[in-house]
Structure 1
Amino acid sequence: MRTIDPIDTKKIEEQENHTHTMQGILKFVEITVNLLVLICVGASQASVAGFTSLGGFGSFSLNSAYSPFEGTELREVRELDMQFTQMRAPCVYGGVAFSLTTAVLTLVFLVMGAKPIQQLRTGLLVGECAFNLLAGASYIVAVGLYLHFVSQVNSTEVCKRRERLYARRGYTSMNCVVQGGDGAVGLFGAVASCLYFASFVVCIRAVRTVRAFQSHVAKAQHSPKVSVKDRSVRNHQAVRRTPESSHNIQALATLV
């Protein structure tokens, strides 16, 4: 029967601790990037919402003392701002919901996985691996849909009329191109996707390491039982040999 080398178990524990540390670091970075995506979605909406829109943070509003728009022009820009904001609303709500949900689930796996190797369950790690793979693929799809939807909104007549109206007053930032905030959403989304795919690879290693550790522990727990059984067999054989040896000694004494 092959005995369990405690050095092998120690190596497995060290490998699992290293993998566990990598998982924790990746989870913290993923949560941070998710929050950055969330912030960029909100900032992008605020920057293009328009000065007269409730979602804008411009230098003037409908209730301010000064406004470059007056009369019919003011009513028109207000209507266009509202329409443009409503058209971009699915991007905002979808981006906020997706990034926030992903960040919360990542935090849940981070908390649930913060256990020693003896308490880790393979099922939890498998679920984490599936989540990482799904999150990485979902971020690619989400970023593509976000930028595609933004481009569609920017190509509408509402956006073009709004751009011309603001350009008359010298506000060229309200144009119909992809803004820096939208580009930042795409950039951080791509980074998040790469991080989740990296976490998937590390998670697969963690599953293998935990399974190897559990196998070593199971063998270590089984080996003492086997050794006790072997000792009992050897003792029984020794007991059987003892009467035989005593009988031989008595025969030899008689002959003497």
Structure 2
Amino acid sequence: MLSFQGNVLDEVFKGILKFVEITVNLLVLICVGAAQASVAGFTSIGGLGIGSFNLNLAYSPFEGTELQEVRELDMQFTQMRAPCVYGGVAFSLTAASLTLLFLVAGTKPIQRLTVGLLAGECAFNLLAGVGYVAAVGLYLHFVIQVNSTEVCKRRERLYARRGYTSMNCMVQGSDMAVSLFGVAAACLYFASFVVCILAIRTVRAFQSRTAKAQGSPESSLRDRSVRDHRVVCRSSERSHSVQALATLV
């Protein structure tokens, strides 16, 4: 009974971990989009219209050649940061989808779980944890590299002339949020890897106990007695049938 309750608690904890992993993946996805929107500028389509000026309908702080220059710089800057967006979105969506898949596949009683499925889940958790650590490092490296370009510095000077100091070449808070949630996701996947290893041990122990129970002498005697009882019942039914037939004759 205690072993059964422990297995149930392990499965519940494992499911909670999966739900949190999916949530953190979605937060990474949201932060990647917010990071691109916050640094895209007032004239770039990459800003997604969030906090930007509509050049056709609203007042713009730039005009003339300065407006044309800031337009070109905004477009170049967002294009340079595009791999961060596409890579972050693809990675977080893939991780969230596979996590959801393993969550659904793992909602079975322990006697129906297979070691192969759990081994695949363990491999995914390990790869996802290592992948998130590498992805966070590459993301920050790429952001710092883009911020050190001449395009970013010229763009920063143009915006600073009009008093917009937020468009600078430092790592933004939204980029730090992407990194923070990425590290949190890596920690969660490493924790899931450990839980998955324990689940494999539990399934193997359960399978070995089942095999021993089926091959034990008591089990053999029990099966033999059941078979003998069935044979006796069948012979008794046949004798009753013969007696009834004899009576009719």
In the superposition, the TM-score normalised over structure 2's length comes to 0.86
Q: Does 1:101 align with 2:94?
A: yes
- Correspondence list, 1:1-256, <5 A: 10-56=1-47, 57-223=50-216, 224-227=218-221
4+ runs deviating over 3 angstroms: 228-231
Aligned residues of 2:213 and 2:219 also touching (Cα < 8 A): no
Number of the residue aligned with 1:253 = none
Aligned-pair CA distance for 1:62 = 2.4
Q: 1:230 to 1:177 in 2, by over 3 A?
A: same
Query: What code does the residue aligned with 2:186 have?
Result: S
Change (3 A) 1:218 1:185: same
Does the 8 Å contact 2:41/2:52 carry over to 1? no
Q: Secondary structure at the match of 1:64?
A: coil
Alpha carbons of 1:14 and 1:164: their partners in 2 closer, same or farther (altered >3 Å)? same
Q: Which amino acid aligns with 2:165?
A: T
Partners of 1:41 and 1:228 lie apart in 2 by: 63
Q: Which amino acid aligns with 2:121?
A: E
Q: Which has the larger radius of gyration?
A: 1
1:229 and 1:144 map into 2 onto residues whose CA distance is 61
User: Contact between 1:15 and 1:209, CA under 8 Å: does it hold in 2?
Assistant: no
Alignment-derived partner of residue 234 in structure 1: none
User: CA offsets, 1:189-221, max 9 Å, x none?
Assistant: 000000000001111111101111111112222
Deviation at 1:61, TM superposition (A): 2.7
- The gaps in structure 1 that reach 5 residues or longer are 1-9, 232-256
Deviation per residue, 1:38-66 (Å, 9 max, x gap): 00000000000001001212341322331
Q: Secondary structure at 1:218's aligned position in 2?
A: helix
Instruction: Judge conservation of contact 1:12–1:209 (CA < 8 Å) in 2.
Output: no
Percent of residue pairs bearing the same amino acid type: 76
TM (norm. structure 1) is 0.83
Q: Secondary structure at the match of 1:68?
A: coil
Shift of 1:229: 8.8
Asked whether the 8 Å contact 2:121–2:196 carries over to 1, the reply is yes
- In the other structure, the counterpart of 1:6 is none
Q: Does the Cα contact within 8 Å between 1:50 and 1:174 map onto a contact in 2? A: yes
Q: 2:245 corresponds to which residue?
A: none
CA distance in 1, matches of 2:63, 2:2: 76
Amino acid in the other structure paired with 1:123: G
